[in-house]
Chain A
Amino acid sequence: MIGRRAFALVLATLLAVPVLGAVPKDAPDITLTALSGKPIRIADLKGQVVLLDFWASWCIPCRRSFPEVDALHRELQPKGLTVIAVNVDEQQKNAYTFLEKYPHTMTIAFDPKGAVAQAFDLQAMPSSMIVDRHGRIRFTHEGYTDKTISQFRSEVLQLLAEGE
Chain B
Amino acid sequence: MMVLKTRVVLAVAFAAAGLSATACATVQPWQRGLLADSCMVFDSNNTAAYMTHWQESREGSMGGFGVQGGGCGCK
Mark A residues whose CB is within 8 Å of B.
54, 56-62, 88-91, 94, 111, 114, 117-118, 122-127, 142-144
- B36 — which chain A residues lie within 8 A by C-beta? 58-60
- By the criterion CB–CB under 8 Å, are B37 and A125 in contact? no
- A88 — which chain B residues lie within 8 A by C-beta? 30
Can you list 10 A-B pairs, Cβ within 8 angstroms, ordered by A?
A: A56-B33, A58-B36, A59-B72, A62-B74, A114-B28, A114-B31, A117-B28, A118-B28, A122-B30, A124-B75
The total of interchain contacts (Cβ-Cβ below 8 angstroms) comes to 55
Q: Output the least CB separation between A140 and chain B (Å).
A: 13
Mark B residues whose CB is within 8 Å of A.
28-34, 36-37, 72-75
Interface of A, secondary structure class, is loop
- B37 — which chain A residues lie within 8 A by C-beta? 58
Docked Cα-Cα span, A15 to B65, in Å, equals 48
Docked Cα-Cα span, A57 to B31, in Å, equals 12
- By the criterion CB–CB under 8 Å, are A144 and B75 in contact? yes
- By the criterion CB–CB under 8 Å, are B29 and A124 in contact? yes
| Selected contact of A58 from candidates B28, B72, B75, CB within 8 Å | B72
Docked Cα-Cα span, A60 to B37, in Å, equals 11
- By the criterion CB–CB under 8 Å, are A117 and B75 in contact? no
Chain B minimum-CB-distance residue to A89: B33
- B30 — which chain A residues lie within 8 A by C-beta? 54, 56, 88, 111, 114, 117, 122, 125
Q: Output the least CB separation between B69 and chain A (Å).
A: 11
- A58 — which chain B residues lie within 8 A by C-beta? 32-33, 36-37, 72
Q: In this complex, which of B30, B33, B75 has the most chain A Cβ atoms within 10 angstroms of its Cβ?
A: B30
- B34 — which chain A residues lie within 8 A by C-beta? 90
Docked Cα-Cα span, A127 to B32, in Å, equals 14
Q: In this complex, which of A61, A94, A117, A125 has the most chain B Cβ atoms within 10 angstroms of its Cβ?
A: A125
- A117 — which chain B residues lie within 8 A by C-beta? 28-30
Docked Cα-Cα span, A54 to B29, in Å, equals 11
The 3 A-B pairs with the shortest beta carbon distances in the complex, nearest first, are: A143-B75, A88-B30, A58-B36
Chain A minimum-CB-distance residue to B33: A58
| Selected contact of B74 from candidates A114, A123, A143, CB within 8 Å | A143
Do A123 and B29 contact each other (CB < 8 Å), given the known contacts A59-B74, A60-B72, A142-B75? Answer: yes
